[in-house]
């Protein structure tokens, strides 16, 4: 490691906090955070119901690998229809709501 490396010993949280001071990074982070919140809810619902990725994929008429990519955020453009079908297959209903932005600058 180079002497004087300012990154040595930093935590991920401190690195993210530093980057959040940049408006472009903050905007991209918040957009990704919203997407992953939806996907995390889908994963938790699937696990709570007790289905594997393969079992849910079969119910959706797709491959396990495609569902895995969706759950990892690999599909940036997951359609509302896809999310509705997944929710329905798990016995849930997808709700989309609009909320005021917390940070007006973003």
Report the alpha-carbon distance of residue 12 to residue 32 in Å, rounded.
17
Domain-embedded: residue 91: yes
- Residue 84 domain boundaries: 33-96
pTM: 0.64
CATH of residue 75: 1.10.260.40
Domain-embedded: residue 22: no
- Give the tens place of pLDDT for each residue, 27-48: 877 777 777 788 889 999 999 9
Domain-embedded: residue 4: no
Domain-embedded: residue 65: yes
Cα distances (angstroms) measured from residue 53 to each of 39, 46, 58, 82: 13, 8, 9, 15
Report the alpha-carbon distance of residue 49 to residue 7 in Å, rounded.
42
Assigned token pair, 73: 């955020």
Q: Is the pLDDT of residue 6 over 80?
A: no
Q: Which long-range contacts (CB under 8 A, 24 or more apart) does 86-89 make?
A: 86/42, 86/56, 86/60, 87/42, 87/45, 89/56, 89/59, 89/60
The number of distinct structural domains making up the chain is 1
pLDDT at 47 (0 to 100)? 96
Q: What is the mean pLDDT of residues 3-28?
A: 73
Count of alpha carbons within 13 angstroms of residue 29, beta-carbon side = 14
pLDDT at 3 (0 to 100)? 46
pLDDT at 4 (0 to 100)? 45
- Give the tens place of pLDDT for each residue, 49-88: 999 999 999 999 999 999 998 888 766 667 889 999 999 9
Report the alpha-carbon distance of residue 54 to residue 37 in Å, rounded.
22
């Amino acid at each position: 490691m180079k002497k004087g490396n300012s990154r040595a010993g930093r935590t991920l949280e401190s690195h993210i906090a530093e980057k959040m001071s940049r408006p472009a990074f903050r905007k991209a982070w918040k957009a990704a955070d919203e997407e992953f919140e939806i996907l995390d809810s889908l994963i938790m619902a699937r696990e709570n119901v007790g289905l594997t990725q393969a079992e849910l994929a079969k119910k959706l008429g797709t491959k396990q690998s495609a569902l895995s990519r969706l759950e990892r955020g690999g599909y940036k453009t997951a359609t509302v229809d896809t999310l509705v079908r997944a929710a329905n297959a798990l016995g849930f209903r997808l709700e989309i709501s609009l909320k005021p932005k917390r940070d007006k600058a973003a």
